[in-house]
């Protein structure tokens, strides 16, 4: 196989583009796709201050590298989720990335700063781990962006993520979610602007970017992801992709070009009917009730409720 651009030996075949690339031209393709996404969706300007949400995984580290390479000012925020070995390891990849570059990284550790971790928070709030995790991350990113005066928050969601979410939303015709599934979420109601510059690149490309640029990332999956629906949707989409390369891109890009606005308009009409947002009495974040969902999660997760056993409760075995 030869590189489509220079005819030197290729290292990767991208069947969606019906082409093969050498290292240099593959990396250039990744940067070009990010530049195209930024321009196409008017994501941010060269002078903007950007906060990137980093996890230690391939997508956010690759995106950080690409944006720095393009000359943007990008600071990182990592949230320690307290998910055992997975969290212990993932932070080391972020620290290693930062070591060799002149960038700012802020780390917020849930267990030390808020007194809970995702497993305990999920149990206390009776949410799935991913739901408790998503809620915590969104809240802390919004807060950090607002406090730090950032113009925009960027995340490493890629084409596979977006196509999988789209498939899930479509299977259940969740029109409100469909209306909001855009690569740019404008600022408003006290929330920062959020953008996804990797929507033109798939996860195979992002992993390849890391391997080829020598970025070490956490390869092992978060244990809470195992067997979730999102993974199932990705597998299904990859089966389609293998039979008909380009399917994922056509599905998602076609949605953006021809469908999302139909759902978005239905969504806009309901916005005015919503109760106005007001500051959370505990943390000041905009919310629709007195105390925001994050503060309620923290409160429940850190309350030490002793387990009461009724008189009929069976005796627990004493050894495991």
Partner 1 sequence: MKVELRNPNRTLEFKGTMSVVALLNRLELNRESVLVIRDGTLVPGDAMLAHEDHIEIRSVISGGNS
Question: What span, in angstroms and rounded, lies between the C-alpha atoms of 69 and 73?
Answer: 10
Stretch that binds ligand SF4, among 3-11, 32-40, 63-71, 218-226 (CB under 6 A): 218-226
Question: What span, in angstroms and rounded, lies between the C-alpha atoms of 52 and 1?
Answer: 36
Stretch that binds ligand SF4, among 127-135, 187-195, 205-213, 290-298 (CB under 6 A): 127-135
Q: Is 118 in the site for ligand SF4 (CB under 6 A)?
A: yes
Q: Quick one: what does residue 6 bind among Zn ion, ligand SF4, partner 1, none, with the CB cut-off 5 to 8 Å set by partner type?
A: Zn ion
- Which of positions 224-283 make contact with Zn ion (CB under 5 A)? 280, 282-283
Distances (CA, A) of 8 to 5, 33, 53, 87, 209: 8, 22, 36, 40, 18
Q: Is 225 in the site for ligand SF4 (CB under 6 A)?
A: yes
Q: Residues 6 or more apart from 62 whose CB is under 8 A from it?
A: 30, 156, 198, 206, 209, 210, 213, 215, 217
Decide: 76 and 52 in contact? Cβ < 8 Å: yes
Q: Is 20 in the site for partner 1 (CB under 8 A)?
A: yes
Decide: 282 and 292 in contact? Cβ < 8 Å: yes
H helical segments located in the chain: 23-40, 58-69, 84-99, 118-125, 129-148, 159-171, 175-180, 203-213, 229-243, 247-258, 260-271, 293-302
CB of residue 199 vs partner 1: minimum separation in angstroms?
Answer: 16
Please identify, using beta-carbon distances, which residue of 70 and 212 lies nearer to partner 1: 212
Binding mask 278-317 for Zn ion (x = CB under 5 A): --x-xx-x------x--x----------------------
Binding mask 198-237 for partner 1 (x = CB under 8 A): ----xxx-xxx--xx-x----xxxx-xxx-xxxx--xx--
Q: Residues 6 or more apart from 34 whose CB is under 8 A from it?
A: 63, 66, 67, 70, 197, 198, 200, 201
Angle, alpha carbons 263-264-268 (nearest 5°): 125
Q: Is 117 in the site for partner 1 (CB under 8 A)?
A: no
In the list 9, 134, 186, 279, the residue contacting ligand SF4 (rule: CB under 6 A) is 134
Q: Is 29 in the site for Zn ion (CB under 5 A)?
A: no
Which residue has 């850190």 as its token pair?
A: 302
Please identify, using beta-carbon distances, which residue of 67 and 118 lies nearer to ligand SF4: 118
Q: What SS3 state is found at 17?
A: helix
Stretch that binds ligand SF4, among 65-73, 100-108, 219-227, 280-288 (CB under 6 A): 219-227
- Which of positions 232-251 make contact with partner 1 (CB under 8 A)? 234-235, 238-239, 241-242
Applying CB under 8 A, which residues contact partner 1? 1, 10-13, 15, 20, 23, 55, 57-59, 130-131, 133-134, 137-138, 160-161, 164-165, 202-204, 206-208, 211-212, 214, 219-222, 224-226, 228-231, 234-235, 238-239, 241-242
């Amino acid at each position: 196989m030869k590189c489509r651009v220079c005819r030197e030996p290729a290292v990767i075949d991208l069947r969606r583009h019906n082409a093969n690339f050498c290292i240099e031209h593959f990396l250039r393709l990744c940067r070009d796709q990010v530049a195209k996404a930024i321009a196409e969706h008017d994501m941010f300007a060269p002078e903007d201050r950007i906060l990137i949400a980093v996890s230690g995984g391939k997508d956010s580290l690759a995106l950080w590298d690409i944006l720095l390479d393009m000359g943007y000012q990008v600071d990182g925020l990592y949230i320690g989720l307290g998910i055992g070995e997975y969290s212990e390891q993932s932070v080391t990849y972020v620290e290693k990335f930062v070591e060799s570059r002149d960038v700012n990284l802020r780390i917020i550790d849930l267990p030390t700063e808020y007194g809970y971790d995702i497993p305990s928070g999920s149990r206390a709030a009776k949410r799935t781990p991913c739901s408790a995790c998503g809620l915590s991350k969104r809240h802390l990113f919004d807060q950090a962006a607002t406090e730090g005066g950032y113009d925009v928050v960027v995340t490493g969601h890629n084409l596979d993520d977006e196509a999988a979410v789209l498939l899930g939303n479509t299977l259940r015709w969740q029109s409100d979610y469909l209306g909001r599934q855009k690569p740019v979420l404008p600022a408003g109601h006290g929330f920062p602007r959020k953008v996804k510059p990797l929507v033109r690149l798939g996860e195979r490309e992002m992993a390849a970017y890391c391997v080829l640029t020598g970025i070490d990332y956490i390869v092992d999956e978060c244990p809470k992801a195992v067997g979730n629906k999102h993974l199932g949707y990705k597998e299904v989409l990859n089966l389609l992709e293998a039979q008909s390369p380009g399917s994922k891109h056509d599905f998602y890009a076609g949605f953006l070009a021809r469908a999302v606005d139909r759902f978005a308009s239905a969504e806009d009409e309901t916005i005015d009917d919503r109760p106005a947002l007001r500051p959370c009495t505990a943390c000041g974040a905009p919310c629709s009730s007195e105390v925001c969902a994050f503060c309620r999660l923290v409160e429940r997760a850190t309350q030490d409720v002793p387990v009461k056993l009724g008189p009929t409760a069976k005796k627990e075995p004493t050894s495991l």
